[in-house]
Chains A and B, each alone.
Chain A
Amino acid sequence: MDRVKEAQEIEDDLPDPLEIPDLVPGCMAASKPYGAAPEFQKPLGFPGGLVENWQEKAIEKMAELRGKYRSFRVFLDSCVKCGACTDKCHYFLGTGDPKNMPVARQDLLRQVYRRHFTLAGKYLPWLVGARDLTEEVLDDWYSYFHQCSQCRRCSVFCPYGIDTAEISMAGREIMDSIGKGQKYSNEIIGKVLTIGNNLGLPKKALKATLEDLEEEVLEETGVPVRFPLDEKGAEILLVAPSADYFAEPHIAGLIGYAKVFHQAGVTWTISSHATEAANFGMFIGSYENMREISLRVRHAALDLGVKRIVFGECGHAWRAAYSFLNTLAGPFDFLDQRYPIPQHICEFTYDLIAAGKLTFDKSKNDHIRLTFHDSCNIARGSRLGNKPGGQFDIPRAILRATCNHFHDMPADTIKESTVCCGGGGGLLTDELIEIREKGAQPRMRALQHVAAEHGVTHMAAMCAICKAQFSKVLPMYGFDREAIVSVHQMVSNAIVLERTDGGAVGERDEE
């Protein structure tokens, strides 16, 4: 009893994860990512450096976006400045910089939009807060549109669903079009298009890695679980984030997928042409680049003659796949229509669990007391399964099936209200570490709550960016960097593999 009481008291003393800070104007103005060099701008169709008549060009681009995107027009027109979103952004909560309030972030673009595209802004700019696109404004754009992880938390709470992510994407697209690109995102898009993945991992290295994994799993389990590459005629094409091939805890997740495929008895393959699930074209708001990247998946599926496409654990990649792939690279009439196109690995695993086809030894995860971080793009930009909200229930069902101790974090920080890891949207780069650390504060505080109350030791996530970001920021908040685990790592730990002769691996000793 006393211990429970003590834990409760510790928890009561912890700061509220969503505590609203005082305003500290301009405190993050200096936080900006490195600029993209000309050689990375040009292949994406952007000018190498800031063009001479950039003001004019930016306004032209705005006019273009206004005609191409209803969201742009409706969102910029409709905001009533009610203030409901002002305390919803994790970057605002972590920094107190008022320009990180979603509506204020939108206003950076809206002030220029009003100046050029509205009657009041043209003739009475002071009345409606309209401004010319000055160097100072462009500077603010570059800083603050790169302090938005495009997590969409603000859009949940806005009475008109105004999604600041759409605005920061548009802002980045405008900046790209005048030659002011961000190094991190644009370099990565270049690598995906030329080499096939974000990391620039060549086919030979990938092949070696996969062979090592086969050996490792065989040694550990005694079961020949395969990790096939470029195998024509396989049933399933797996498209996973490239971090799954080399970084911890991502690899453990990849091993989990392979074991599930093994148990399901399906043939599958990775494609060296489309090794990468991530689609950074989304972060920079570029339909064309996003489309190019998506088409690789189509081509890989056609080349290999697969019947199904399954995506690995990655948040924005799943949004790009679930919500956009059919639009950008469809129709997929050449695939097996009995399965969702594309399908998520968690849907795949969950269906097998529901059909009673997987067996787990939960005690294998008894050293873990687990919670789950809903990744923004899965929570608010896509779905799993065939019911709204499946994106919350399915991963939790998988985790509960694989471990004995599961506790959710405070309700206002999970599911549709989940708070971002702080590293999404093209911010996962070293020079932005300050905003990343501060933006992680609400999530880290929520984790402190369940750690105090339920002794939670680990947090699972199903997003490569979340996992990489948490590995970095967990220690800054007093946690172990290995406290972050993949969902399919939990699956991998607990799954009972069948040997080819039909016996279960766990039974080996008793034979």
Chain B
Amino acid sequence: MLTAVYASTFYLAAAVLAGGLAFRTWEYATTPAPLKIPTTPAPTTRTGVAFRLSREVVLFESLFKANKWIWLFGWIFHAALLVVLMRHLRYFTQPVWDWVTLIQPFGVYAGFAMVAGLAGLWARRILVPRIRYISAPSDHLMLALLIGIAVSGLMMKYVAPTDIVAVKSFFLGLMVFHWQPLPADPVLLVHLGLVAALMIVFPFSKLLHAPGLFFSPTRNQVDNPRERRHLANWARALEAGRQ
């Protein structure tokens, strides 16, 4: 019963996440940007734009210019999240890829770093009046959700270990539609429940910043309006009969 509930929840969550993100990406990709609006100085070539976007994704360049504290906490959180996600690949691969094995020890530190980064962001959200002013309940909840995921994960490592061999066979089974029993440890159930919730809200929430960044016209456009005429389809329609 428990296994069935969690198995179906994860199928649903994976479908919503993948389908939702694909849909959003399609929406963003097909909505025209009728005018050239890169925030200048901007790169004058496509390669330059690729570099600019990479710097935004990897280093959070603009955020660094804006505010060192948000940058520090935000970057630590995201970098840690990435390491944690990579570490989790061991539950989905058999045999485990070498590089995944290699990063296992870092994964644990990353868990703590993630909590620290999130706590820093949350503290600012509560303590800095400007940021408190712009926060809706959902902004606090999102941080709570992520901290909940991280803390329940760390608890399984340090406080209430679960049968990770069984967990792994549950996920391997999920992937080939051959269900294996999920251990009924409360902490594990909380952890997995929150992860599924995160996957489901992803395409409907501000987590869309991840795909959004790549489609942001102020960041992804080449600064060459004089050299190349840029015209959206709906704007082309206005040209009919023009001198």
Name A residues whose Cβ lies closer than 8 Å to a Cβ of B. Answer: 20, 22-23, 66-71, 73-75, 77-88, 98, 101, 103-104, 107, 118-120, 126-129, 152, 155-163, 166, 287-288, 291, 295, 298-299, 302, 322-324, 326-327, 330-331, 340-342, 379-383, 386-389, 391-392, 416
Contact = CB atoms under 8 A, between A and B. Distances in A.
Interface stretch (B36-44, B104-112, B152-160, B189-197): B36-44
B136 A86 contact: no
A292 to B, nearest CB: 10
Contacts of B27: 73
Interface string B199-243: 000001110110011011111000101101111101100100011
A327 B231 contact: yes
Contacts of A330: 229
B28 A388 contact: no
A161 B128 contact: no
B117 interface: no
Interface string B18-31: 00000010011001
Given A77-B208, A155-B39, A388-B44, A101 B225 contact: no
A118 B62 contact: no
Interface in B96-129: 121, 124-125, 128-129
Interchain residue pairs A-B with the least CB separation, the first 6: A78-B212, A157-B66, A161-B218, A129-B136, A388-B41, A83-B131
Contacts of A291: 235, 238
5 contacts: A83-B70, A88-B66, A157-B63, A327-B231, A381-B37
Nearest to A382: B40
Contacts of A118: 204
Contact of A74 (B56, B129, B212): B212
Interface string B132-146: 011111110100000
Contacts of A326: 225-226, 228-230
Interface of B: 24, 27-28, 31-37, 39-44, 56, 60, 62-63, 65-67, 70, 74, 121, 124-125, 128-131, 133-139, 141, 204-206, 208-209, 212-213, 215-219, 223, 225-226, 228-232, 234-235, 238, 242-243
Contacts of A156: 39, 62, 65
Contacts of B243: 298-299, 302
B229 A383 contact: no
Contacts of B215: 70, 74
Given A79-B206, A87-B130, A161-B218, A388 B223 contact: yes
B126 to A, nearest CB: 12
Nearest to A165: B37
A159 B213 contact: yes
Given A68-B232, A98-B133, A324-B225, 5 more contacts: A66-B31, A71-B218, A83-B67, A128-B136, A387-B44
A70 B136 contact: no
A416 B216 CA distance: 19
A69 B33 contact: yes
Nearest to B67: A84
A335 to B, nearest CB: 11
A23 B131 CA distance: 11
Contacts of B37: 71, 163, 166, 323, 381
Nearest to B242: A295
A368 B182 CA distance: 79
A77 B212 contact: yes
Contacts of A22: 129
Counting chain B CB atoms within 10 Å of each CB, the highest count among A68, A126, A160 belongs to A160
B119 to A, nearest CB: 15
Contacts of B44: 386-388
A161 B52 CA distance: 11
B130 A23 contact: yes
A381 B32 CA distance: 19
B4 to A, nearest CB: 27
Nearest to B60: A159
A74 B28 contact: yes
A121 to B, nearest CB: 10
A163 B226 CA distance: 22
Contacts of A75: 216
Nearest to A77: B208
